[in-house]
Structures are given as C-alpha cells and as structure tokens.
Chain A
Amino acid sequence: MTAAFIFLVLIAFLLVGMPVSIALGLTVLTVLFFLTDVPLDAVALKLFTGIESFELMCVPFFILAGNFMTHGGVAKRMIRFATAMTGHWPGGLGLAAVVACAIFAAVSGSSPATVVAIGSIMIPAMVSRGYPKSFGAGVVASSGALGILIPPSIVMVLYSVATAGMNVKGPNGERVHAASVDDLFMAGVIPGLVLAALLGLTTFWIAWSRGYPKTERQSWSERLAALADCGWGLALIVIVMGGIYGGIFTPTEAAAVSAVYAFIVAVYIYRDLPLSAVPRVLLASASMSAMLLYIITNAVLFSFLLTHEQIPQAIADWLVHQGFGKIAFLAVVNIVLLIAGCFMEPASVTLILAPILFPVAAALGIDPVHFGIIMVVNMEVGMLTPPVGLNLYVASGISRLGLTTMSRAVMPWLLTMLGFLMVVTYWPELSLALPRWLGMM
C-alpha cells in the first residue's frame, strides 16, 4: 500500500516535468508528511552524509579528466590512428569511428562526451568522403554508447554507490556485498570489447552490402607514427586500469591523478587547450558533477525511505514466493530498464532502480557485479531510444538530422546491441571471467 503510494507520487512528480532530483526529494517529503514516522532530523543528516563517501569523489574527477581529454585534441589523434588501421576496409571510416569511440571510451566515463569528441570530427569527415550522413551519425551515436561500458564509467560508480552498504541477503540467507568500483571496471572490459567488435561487424556488413567507399591502405610506418602520436592519451588507460588493478591507487585516486595528467597533456604537451580555457572546463565539470551529486543526494534519501519501509525486501520476498526464477526475473528487469531508459537519462535510472532491483537480484543468487553490467548495457540501449536518448540528441545536434531520422539511423546497431544484451544477461561468465581470473573476486 505504502509502496504503491510512494511510486504513484514519484511518477506524478516526474510526469509534470520536475527535475529528477527535486521529484525524488519531494516524494520523500510528501511520504514523510503523510505516512510514516521517520524523524525529520534523520532526513537532514542524510542530505549531507548521502554524498560523504570517498568512493563517490571519483565522479567529479573522472568528469574533469574526460573534459580535458575531450578538449585537448586527444580524440583527433585517436581518430587518425583508428583511420590508419581500418580505413582500407569497406566502410573504413565507419569502422574507424567504432574503433576511435572504443579507445576514447577507455579514457572517458561518459557516452555523450564520446559522441561529441568523435562525432564532431568523424561525421563531417565521412560526409565529405561520400557516406550518407545518416550512416555516419548512426555509427557514432551507437558506438559512443561504449563510453559507459568500457571503464572508467560514471554509471558503474553510481551503481556501486547506490547499492553499497545495503543489508542484502542471498538465496541461502548469507550476506551479499555490493559490487566494488574496481570489480565493475574490470568486469566491463571484455563485454566492452565484444560489443565494440559486434558494432564493427554491423558497420562492416552494412558498408559492404551497400558498397561504401574505402580509403587507401596506410603503410605500417604511418600506423606506428599515428600510434605514437596518441601515446600520451593512451597512457591514461594504463594509469587508470593498471593503477587500480595493481593496487597502486583507489579508483578515486586514479581519477584525480588522471585529471591532473589530462590537464598536463591537453595544455602543455598537445597544446590544443589554452590555459585561459581551463576555468571554463573546470566550471563545466563542476556544474555537471554537482548536478549528478544532487540527484545522488536525493536518491539516497529515496532509497533510505524505501529501505525504512522495507519495500525492496517485500518485492524480493513476493517474487521468490511466486516462484520467479533468475531467467524470468532478468527478463522483467531488462524490460523495466529499457522502458525507464526511454524516459530518463542513465544516471537517474541507475540511482532510482538499482537500490530496488539489487536486493531482489541478490535473493535470487545473481552476482552483484554481473547485475551491474546488465544494468549498464541496458543504459547504453537507453541512450539510443527516443524520446530521451542522450546520444541521439547529441548526434542530431552535430549532424543536424532530426530526431526521427536519427532514431531510424541507429536502428541496425540498436538491434545488434539488443542481441548483445541478451548474451550479457544470460551468460554471466562473459562479465565475470576477467575479474575472477585476476583474482579480484
């Protein structure tokens, strides 16, 4: 009863167009006012303690590092390398866009940023070589989604933070710990590479069957020169993944180090970013992070309310009692996440739904890390589905194609991604093999 009331209020607030953070917070206040006996002091304290975790501090730092990279001509050099490697195949520039997105995703934690960085160069380049614009915009919009699957990934951090510290029980009553950021990052690597390969195959197949142009084959010396040229950018991947895996840094420290490193590379080594532009980059990053942290604060309040009313537990018990198995539950999860992803952006969906779904998943014996990867892949699809698909908006802004045309343009890759979602959902080893092999879990 309370649960129905809570969700109805939230949906009503969301539908009238309030910001997600305000809708969450007002829902909590409304429910507290009318229904329950949570002391208001506890709520005020949560406002501060909600974002008082050192783990969470990596969100602003990764955003800052990504912004320096987006600005600093790193994308341009990665594109040169990718084009040198794949340009001579059918649809070569399309393949290069996929490869460049995958590499850029490994230094950036955000999908729209990846689309901006790669798309603003790649889409005009493809059009001038005689590719249809919808093909160019489609391939970049969909490959840009790799940004949140290939680590570092803001969405993974949010999932980890949203589920951390929950008192959750497994199928045999044992305590289940939430997934750590390190584990999630490692688990994202193989699915990320596989998805990149699948998107590349889709691109190749379309280009080959429609006879799209190729560029001349590059010599190995040109390829090596291009690789060396983007070496400073690629080193960031080593710093983040090597540093975290090697136990040299915590994820937050890795994020701060990569932000400083990206600043030095952009301003002093590549010199694509004037020092005078740095305050603007700082301000944009701070504002983006503050927006996310504000949603997090209110989402923490919301999940505090849910936990206090024992709603996730009730859902879990009910589902288990109904004889729902893993397979049926995961199918439902995918449908719910895909629908939610059509209307809200990934950060909000993750922060609202992870605390509700995670206890159920744990009760059914689904690994927390695997479940996180399933959520992330769903969010990737959500970025390509109208009416609210961030990548569609960004790519449509760059290519000047309407949203409807854009939605049709991404269709082939979207179908590939949906197929891939099935594989990720029902084949846990794809996600878990690498962190297990590295002895992380």
Chain B
Amino acid sequence: MGEERAKAARILDHLEEIIIATLLAAATLLIFVAVAQRYGLSGVASVYRWSRVEDLPWLTSLAKSLFFAIASVRLTWAQELCIFMVVWMAKFGAAYGVRTGIHVGVDILVENLKGTSQRVLIVAGLLAGALFTVIIGTLGAQLVWHIYDTGQTSAVLELPMWLVYLAVPLGSYLMCYRFLEVAWHFWKTGERPHHDPGAVEGIEPVAGSEGAR
C-alpha cells in the first residue's frame, strides 16, 4: 500500500516536470516558427518579384508555389496559444517550485529564531500557503463552472475558455498539496527544500575550483 502510494507520487512528480519543460519548449518554438514564417513569406515574395524582373520562369513558379505552401500554414493563432501554454506552465511550475523551495520570502526573522518557535513559524508559513492556494483553487473552480455555463470561447482559436481557465483550480490544488506535503515532511524530519540562488541558472559548480560545493 505504502509502496503503491510512493510510486504514484513519483509518477506525479515526473509528470509535473515533463509538462512544464515541454510547455516552455513548445511555446518558445511556436513563436520562433511564427517569426520565421513571417520573414520567410516576405523573403520568398522578394525572390518572386526579382525573378519576374530578371525573367527566370522556373524560379518564378518555384517561388510562387513556395509562397503558397508557406502561406497555407496560418499562424495567426500562435500568439494566443503561446499565452495559454505559458499560463499553464506557470500554474504547474508554481506547484513544482513549492517542492523545490524556489518561492522565497523575507526570512530574516525566521533565521534568527531558534528551536520550537522557528519550527512553528515555518510550519505556519507553509500552512498559510496551503490555505491561500486552496481558497484560490476553489474560487478558480467556481469561475471555471461559471464560464462553462456561458459557453465563452477564445478569440482566435475558439477554444472553450473554461478549459483554458482550468489551469487555475488544477494548479492551485496541486500547489496546496505540495505545501501540505512540504509542511508534513518538515514537521517530521526538520528538513525543507532549499533553493540555492547560485544554482538558479542550472550551472554545474566548477570542478576543482573554490566554487565546488
């Protein structure tokens, strides 16, 4: 039973990581492709004009078919989809951040306390996070419900908006779960995830240097 739970938790962890990394990569590529397409089109159009002036029929027809091929892929929706993907990434990434301890605050008071009072303050902070996210999750769920009733769709893609807004309740409840998890773990072991600002950008400590940690 306990093992099953641990396995399920690991799968959830991995899923979370895969979702946010993939969404970021996809959003970046999407905008890149949209820009490339815009300039690809105008580039091919100039080749077309030039080949007409120079009287090169084979190039003219090539440029023409290329132009229509590129233009047939309409990317007017790229911007909207990019926003939706980044918003989903942000909501789930925030939950992932609780697990890795990236959400920092003003810890000067906490650091200067000792023993039980410090422990209580840290747990209270984590529980406050859980409280906030559960309220927001519920508000978000109500909003999704409300929008589902109106049948509202997005401007360009015409996606149902309730589906898009679903990121708010799902992300918030997941975040709440993470806060409770971290609080429970801290209460039992006295350890909590700590984010090292020096490792923020994911660089390896330089081997053999003073920086090796």
Interface residues of chain A, those whose CB is within 8 Å of chain B, are 13-23, 25-26, 29, 40-41, 43-45, 47-48, 51-54, 57, 60-61, 64, 66-67, 70-71, 110, 112-113, 116-117, 119-121, 123-124, 127, 133, 248-249, 252-253, 256-257, 259-260, 279-291, 293-294, 297, 343-345, 387-388, 390, 393-394, 397-400
Contacts and interface: CB of A to CB of B under 8 A. Distances in A.
Nearest to A123: B210
A16 B201 contact: no
A51 B109 contact: no
Given A14-B106, A48-B140, 8 more contacts: A19-B129, A22-B128, A25-B136, A70-B202, A286-B23, A287-B96, A289-B89, A297-B90
B203 A120 contact: yes
A104 to B, nearest CB: 12
Interface in B103-155: 103-110, 121-122, 124-125, 128-129, 131-132, 135-136, 139-140, 142-143, 146
Contacts of B210: 123-124, 127, 133, 398-400
A68 to B, nearest CB: 10
Given A22-B128, A256-B28, A120 B205 contact: yes
B24 to A, nearest CB: 4
Interface stretch (B2-10, B43-51, B61-69, B192-200): B192-200
Given A252-B31, A398-B198, A22 B132 contact: yes
Contacts of B102: 287-288, 291
The 7 closest A-B CB pairs, nearest first, are A290-B93, A256-B31, A19-B103, A397-B198, A284-B202, A293-B90, A17-B110
22 contacts: A17-B107, A21-B103, A22-B129, A29-B132, A40-B139, A47-B168, A48-B87, A60-B86, A71-B203, A110-B201, A116-B200, A117-B203, A120-B206, A120-B211, A248-B39, A256-B28, A286-B89, A286-B96, A288-B102, A289-B24, A293-B94, A398-B210
Interface in B140-184: 140, 142-143, 146, 164-165, 167-168
Given A54-B82, A400-B210, A290 B110 contact: no
A290 B201 contact: no
A20, A26, A51, A57 pick with most chain B CB within 10 angstroms: A57
B106 A344 contact: yes
A57 B143 contact: no
A286 B201 contact: no
Contacts of A290: 20, 89-94, 96-97
A436 B24 CA distance: 35
B37 to A, nearest CB: 12
B25 A282 contact: yes
Interface in B27-57: 27-29, 31-32, 34-35, 39
B20 A116 contact: no
A400 B206 CA distance: 13
A265 to B, nearest CB: 14
A286 B103 contact: no
Nearest to B96: A287
Contact of B200 (A13, A47, A284): A284
Contact of A294 (B34, B103, B206): B103
Contacts of B87: 48, 51-52
Interface of B: 17, 20-25, 27-29, 31-32, 34-35, 39, 79, 82-83, 86-87, 89-94, 96-97, 100, 102-110, 121-122, 124-125, 128-129, 131-132, 135-136, 139-140, 142-143, 146, 164-165, 167-168, 196-198, 200-203, 205-206, 209-211, 213
Nearest to B110: A17
A70 B143 CA distance: 41
A388 B198 contact: no
A286 B121 contact: no
Contacts of A390: 197
Given A294-B94, A393-B197, A16 B121 contact: yes
B110 A16 contact: yes
A12 to B, nearest CB: 11
Nearest to B86: A57
A294 B165 contact: no
Contact of B136 (A47, A113, A133): A47
Given A44-B140, A57-B83, A289-B90, A64 B24 contact: yes
B142 A44 contact: yes
A144 to B, nearest CB: 12
Given A120-B209, A288-B200, A290-B94, A18 B128 contact: yes
A68 B112 CA distance: 37
A291 B93 contact: yes
A379 to B, nearest CB: 15
A392 B5 CA distance: 41
A398 B106 contact: no
Contacts of A257: 31-32, 35
Contacts of B213: 397
A441 B128 CA distance: 45
Contacts of A252: 31
Given A257-B35, A293-B90, A343 B106 contact: yes
A113, A253, A282, A399 pick with most chain B CB within 10 angstroms: A282
Nearest to A280: B202
A17 to B, nearest CB: 4
A284 B24 CA distance: 11
A397 B91 CA distance: 30
Contact of B108 (A43, A284, A343): A343
A17 B122 contact: yes
A252 B136 CA distance: 29
